[in-house]
């Protein structure tokens, strides 16, 4: 959510930002919020005048009563009563207008960084750099579900009976590999100075609306019936929520956390949920990283965050690339975002395995995450990035480490987490 004062003073900048995100239907909202805000401020000003006048008149009534001027005092009392009715009307009007302004402001997209390429959707995202040499072996690489089933490590049919499409059982070495990757990612991030965190796996509605747009919430979140709780779709929501309605001292920044959590997503309208595999699913596990920092430090942390993911994948011998998200592919709260994509030798292309985002002060403004420093109070900046999210990450891992004989090589970094095992063989 952008600053209302900024919108009031720079309506054309806000409108151009909406055009850059190809959301022209939201253009009228800028003028609407300015009009509503003007009415709300006028109501507040009149109410403040009445409140100030009430104190003054109350003193006059006391003085008149003391002088025995009862009739004049009663006239003033009648005026006070009338003003009280008007004040009640104004306060109700002010509250109603302020709520309307707030709801519209929640829909108007955040101002994107000037470096973001302009484009309509993810097809216009821009490749920035590649890390590692993408290799296509001279033997055929099976579909990832077949590789997992080859090791008796994936049971989709049983999961479908138990929970439906979009769920899975991981078994044996595949389940162990899944846990090994999560544990390795945890220690990798702790080694980079992040504090390990296991957050709540459910969050309240005020946290949900504080960290994401209404459209994202509708497409992603599972609501707990009869409770003001949602299952988290990604753990940064719960971790950013940790700081809701707090005032941090400047010397407490940055806050750098890395978390483990399961994640649950409706994947509403998603294609591929019916496919036999684990690329697009309703349930997965994830290691995440978040930063709460001073505004001037967020560009530096943004570069550090996506680099962490690149370094982790390269330590597992997986080629990746960095992709700059264009304006039309950015969620409304994001200032800037890059995806990290892993190489798929089977498909001979890259696919997304992580997303790094700088949200500026949008989440902090909604959640009231403030900082107090030598120059007063201000809103913090928040950032998040995927460390690793198996089982999707396992697709890249298996394809890039598959041997011609059907076994899978385990990179040295994972040996301690696999009990010293260096290869996965068919049972």
70: CATH: 1.10.287.40
For residues 345 and 203, membership in a common domain is answered with: yes
Tens digit of each residue's pLDDT, the chain (427 residues) = 899 999 999 999 999 999 999 999 999 999 999 999 999 999 999 888 888 787 677 666 666 676 777 777 667 777 777 778 888 888 899 999 999 999 999 999 999 999 999 999 999 999 999 999 999 999 999 999 999 999 999 999 999 999 999 999 999 999 999 999 999 999 999 999 999 999 999 999 999 999 987 777 778 899 999 999 999 998 899 999 999 999 999 999 999 999 999 999 997 555 555 567 898 899 999 999 999 999 999 999 999 999 999 999 999 999 999 999 999 999 999 999 999 999 999 999 999 999 999 999 999 999 999 999 988 999 999 999 999 998 889 999 999 999 999 999 999 999 999 999 999 998 8
Count: domains in the chain: 2
Residue 263 located in a structural domain: yes
Helix 172-191 vs helix 392-400: crossing angle, to nearest 10: 100
For residues 288 and 210, membership in a common domain is answered with: yes
For residues 393 and 310, membership in a common domain is answered with: yes
Residue 112 located in a structural domain: no
Structure-block tokens of residue 63: 């003085």
Structure-block tokens of residue 17: 């930002």
For residues 92 and 130, membership in a common domain is answered with: no
Q: Which of 339, 364, 359 is nearest to 350 (CA)?
A: 339
171: CATH: 3.30.930.10
For residues 229 and 350, membership in a common domain is answered with: yes
Find residue 129's DSSP bridge partners.
322
For residues 87 and 143, membership in a common domain is answered with: no
Q: Which of 42, 74, 105 is the last residue of a domain?
A: 105
Q: Number of H helices and number of E strands within the chain?
A: 13, 18
Residue 117's SS3 state is coil
Q: Which of 105, 138, 161 is the last residue of a domain?
A: 105
Residue 20 located in a structural domain: yes
Helix 298-315 vs helix 172-191: crossing angle, to nearest 10: 140
Q: Which of 53, 73, 105 is the last residue of a domain?
A: 105
For residues 80 and 22, membership in a common domain is answered with: yes
Residue 117 located in a structural domain: no
For residues 346 and 206, membership in a common domain is answered with: yes
Contact 181, 414 (CB under 8 A): yes
Query: How far is it, in rounded angstroms, from Cα 172 to Cα 182?
Result: 16
Question: Interior CA angle at 321 toward 138 and 388, to 5°?
Answer: 95
Query: How far is it, in rounded angstroms, from Cα 326 to Cα 330?
Result: 7
CA 242 vs CA 196, 211, 333, 401: distances in Å? 14, 11, 18, 38
Residue 116 located in a structural domain: no
For residues 40 and 157, membership in a common domain is answered with: no
For residues 126 and 98, membership in a common domain is answered with: no
For residues 253 and 394, membership in a common domain is answered with: yes
Residue 359 located in a structural domain: yes
**Which residues, 6+ apart, have CB-to-CB distance to 355 below 8 Å?**
325, 337, 338, 339, 340, 385, 386
Domain residues for the domain of 42 are: 4-105
For residues 85 and 139, membership in a common domain is answered with: no
Residue 253 is classified by DSSP as P
Contact 379, 393 (CB under 8 A): no
Residue 281's SS3 state is coil
Residue 399 located in a structural domain: yes
Residue 87 located in a structural domain: yes
């Amino acid at each position: 959510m952008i600053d209302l004062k900024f919108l009031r003073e720079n309506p054309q900048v806000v409108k151009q930002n909406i055009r850059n995100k190809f959301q022209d239907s939201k253009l009228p909202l800028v003028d609407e919020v300015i009009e509503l805000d003007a009415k709300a401020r006028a109501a507040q000003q009149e109410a403040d005048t009445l409140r100030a006048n009430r104190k003054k008149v109350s003193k006059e009534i006391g003085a008149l009563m003391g002088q025995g001027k009862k009739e004049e005092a009663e006239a003033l009392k009648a005026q006070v009563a009338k003003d009280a009715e008007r004040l009640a009307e104004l306060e109700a009007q002010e509250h109603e207008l302020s709520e309307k302004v707030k709801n519209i402001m929640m829909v108007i997209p955040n101002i994107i960084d000037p470096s973001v390429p302009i484009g309509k959707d993810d097809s216009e995202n821009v490749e920035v750099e590649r890390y590692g040499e993408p290799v296509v072996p001279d033997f055929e690489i099976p579909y990832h579900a077949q590789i997992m089933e080859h090791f008796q490590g994936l049971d989709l049919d049983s999961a479908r009976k138990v929970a439906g499409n979009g769920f899975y059982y991981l078994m044996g070495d595949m389940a162990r590999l899944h846990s090994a990757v999560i544990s390795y990612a945890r220690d990798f991030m702790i080694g980079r100075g992040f504090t390990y965190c296991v957050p709540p796996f459910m969050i309240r509605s005020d946290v949900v609306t504080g960290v994401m747009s209404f459209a994202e919430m509708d497409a992603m979140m599972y609501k707990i019936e009869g409770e003001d709780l949602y299952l988290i779709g990604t753990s940064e929501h719960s971790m950013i929520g940790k700081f809701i309605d707090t005032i941090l001292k400047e010397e407490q920044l940055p806050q750098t956390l890395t978390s483990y959590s399961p994640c649950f997503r409706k994947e509403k309208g998603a294609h591929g949920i019916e496919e036999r595999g684990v690329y697009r699913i309703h349930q997965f596990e994830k290691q995440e990283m978040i930063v709460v920092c001073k505004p001037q430090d967020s560009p530096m942390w943004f570069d550090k965050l996506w680099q962490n993911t690149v370094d982790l994948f390269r330590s597992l011998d997986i080629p990746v690339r960095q992709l700059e998200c264009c304006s039309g592919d950015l969620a409304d709260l994001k200032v800037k975002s890059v995806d990290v994509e892993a190489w798929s030798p089977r498909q001979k292309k890259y696919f997304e395995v992580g997303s790094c985002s700088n949200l500026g002060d949008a989440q902090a403004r909604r959640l009231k995450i403030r900082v107090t420093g030598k120059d007063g109070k201000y809103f913090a900046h928040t950032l998040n990035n995927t460390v690793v999210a198996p089982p999707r990450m396992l697709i890249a891992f298996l394809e890039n480490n598959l041997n011609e004989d059907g076994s899978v090589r385990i990179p040295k970094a994972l040996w301690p987490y696999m009990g010293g095992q260096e290869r996965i063989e068919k049972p």
